Structure 1
Amino acid sequence: MMLTLRPAVAARTAFRQYARAMSTQAEPMVLTSRSESGKVAILTLNRPKALNALSTPLFDQLNAELEKADADESVRAIVLTGGEKVFAAGADIKEMKDKQFAEAYKNNFLGTWAKLADIRKPIIGAVAGYALGGGCELAMMTDFIVCTPKAVFAQPEITLGIIPGGGGSQRLVTLIGKGRAMDMVLTNRKVSGVEAGQWGLASRVTEDGQSVVEEAVKVADGIAKFGVVAAQAGKEAVNAALELPLAQGLRLERRLFQALFATADQKEGMAAFAEKRKPTWTDN
């Protein structure tokens, strides 16, 4: 015998089925918001049940949002965070465990995970809780890190029979020196937020209990008050120091410095200083 639902009952049943289907759909892996000023894009990793484990789909979304923010003229700085509890507790092992060399090599596995380094606008990493493995590497890809005292940085890949693959061994040497980098890579040493600040891995460490996201946004809003051209030129000059011999780096810095004299913001900034008033930037 076939049971026929009344229209109202059928409608409610259909709605419940639709609601269940919607609730099981994957939420965005990267949440986007803006600071109160509207000038800072806040990108939040959103895999809380997996402690923000990093995966290729997550990076696909992150890269897309970073490119949007970089192209948006209203955005002057970016904050990247995992929230107030965890930044990212490493790469998603489920995605990696069965990979073979040929597949990883042909598809350039992890190659797309470093696109953050191509973004021209300033990026601040706001780190609370774990920043392990790929999470530590992602944090180091930002222009500088603000962290909590209880944040934990580590490169535990050796416990899995591998080494860092997202720049950990390279960026750590630049930031904290060879000995400390070796210590972290070879012994799975965990570094607290306090130590990270002392070592130069983090630029700023919040007070205990202070919101790391709010502090990072505050710093980013400070950057947003300056001219975009000068901010991007400053970022380019500092990044060049990581790759160029000193003489070439000094030459690039000097050329960028000289080039800024062709901008309206240089004229406005120096005129405002001489006239003892606040400058009005036009980003030209």
Structure 2
Amino acid sequence: MTEPLLVDVRGAVALMTLNRPEARNALSLDLARGLSSALRQLDADAGVRVIVITGADPAFCAGLDLKSLAADGPAYLEAVHEANCIRLVGELATPVVGAVNGAAFTGGLEIALGCDFLIASERAVFADTHARVGVLPGGGMTVRLPDRIGPGWARRMSFTGEVVDADLALRIGLVTEVVAHDGLLDRAMDVAQWIADADGEILRSVKRIYDAGWDATTGSALAVEGELAAATAPDWEALEANRQHVMLRNRTQL
């Protein structure tokens, strides 16, 4: 059986690969729980100074597994919420680099936004389809997205669900760099190694300072997002129809 998550520790850099390519790396319960556990273990390892997160081609992560969501409803959402893998990425003390190789949609976009910065393949595309699917964001989308690209573009992405390609993502500040697809992982690992060459405690302290300033201005907004997401039950009967609509609109498999 194929492992849903691959972890390869190369010295001070840990490479994590979401590995459900047939489902565009959507968050099955096994993947959600495995990702959460691995993130916590790596964050507690003083020898790991940088984490790189990527996906097995052709996608980075499609977010929630909508088939599981439609089939199991509240039980699936509760289990994913308990795993806390989406929010956890942005709560680590260890610097995290996102290597976005393909589609990063909805919860997958939230995982990407939890990274400290993103390097994108020319094939990368981004979208927030929460409103289109009928599920409220609960992983920090409404706070982290405007922090990266400004409130106008963030609201446009969340309201319309439109796809942002790599070139536009670079122009609006969602990613820091766009590289050839075949060179993405090498580039991300090179940048991660530059980071890892610094003193580990200093790195964590610098990140903590950045996070402290960010938390001071976003804490209440994150709490509101979490409360509304927890209190608003999706319309389970509409989920499949919404999923089909989003697939047709964006011409990509969620």
Equivalence for 1:264: none
Q: Please report how far the alpha carbon of residue 92 of structure 1 lies from its aligned counterpart in structure 2 after TM superposition.
A: 0.1
2:119 to 146, 151, 158: 146
* Distance of aligned partners of 1:98 and 1:192 in 2 relative to their CA distance in 1, 3 Å threshold: same
> By how many angstroms is 1:158 displaced?
2.3
Q: Does 1:28 align with 2:6?
A: no
Q: CA distance change for structure 1 residues 108 and 86 in 2, over 3 Å: closer, same or farther?
A: closer
Structure 1 or 2: more strand by fraction: 2
With normalisation by structure 1, the TM-score equals 0.70
Q: What do residues 89-128 of structure 1 show as CA deviations (whole Å, max 9, x unaligned)?
A: 2310122125566x688x4753513222232111101001
Is 1:240–2:212 an aligned residue pair? yes
Which letter maps to 2:81?
L
Judged with a 3 Å threshold, the aligned counterparts in structure 2 of structure 1 residues 108 and 49 are, in CA distance, closer, same or farther, namely closer
Deviations 1:206-252 (A, max 9, x none): 2x34421111111110011000111001111111222225xxxxxxx
Cα RMSD, aligned residues only: 2.2
Q: Partner of 2:177 in structure 1? A: 204
- 1:163 Cα shift? 3.2
Secondary structure, in 3 states, of the residue corresponding to 2:137?
coil
Segment drifting more, 135-144 vs 115-124? 115-124
Q: Cα–Cα, structure 1 residues 68 and 181, in superposed 2: closer, same or farther, change >3 Å?
A: same
Q: 1:66 aligns with which of 14, 33, 39?
A: 39
User: Is the partner of 1:244 in helix, strand or coil?
Assistant: helix
When Rg is computed on C-alpha atoms for both structures, the one with the higher figure is 1
For 1:195 and 1:162, the matched residues in 2 are separated by 26
Give the equivalent residue in structure 1 for 2:25: 52
Identity of counterpart residues, as a percentage?
33
Matched with 1:123 is: 96
**1:110 partnered with 2:110:** no
- Match among 194, 209, 222 for residue 194 of structure 2: 222
**Residue-pair matches, total:** 216
Contact 2:120 2:166 in 1 (8 A): yes
Segments of 5+ residues of structure 1 without an aligned counterpart are 1-25, 246-284
Q: Which of 38, 48, 53 does residue 80 from structure 1 map onto? A: 53
1:155 alignment partner in structure 2: 128
**C-alpha distance in 1 between matches for 2:186 and 2:119:** 10
Q: Deviations over 1:37-96 (max 9, x none)?
A: x22110100111111011332121011111222222322111011035320123101221
- Which one-letter code corresponds to 1:110 in the other structure? H
Structure with greater helix share of residues: 2
Q: For 2:100 and 2:149, how far apart are their aligned partners in 1?
A: 17
Q: Which residue of 2 aligns with 1:273?
A: none
In structure 1, distance between residues paired with 2:28 and 2:172: 29
The reply to whether residue 172 of structure 1 matches residue 151 of structure 2 is no
On the 8 A contact 1:163/1:185 being kept in 2, the answer is: no
Q: Structure 2 stretches of 5 or more lacking a match? A: 218-254
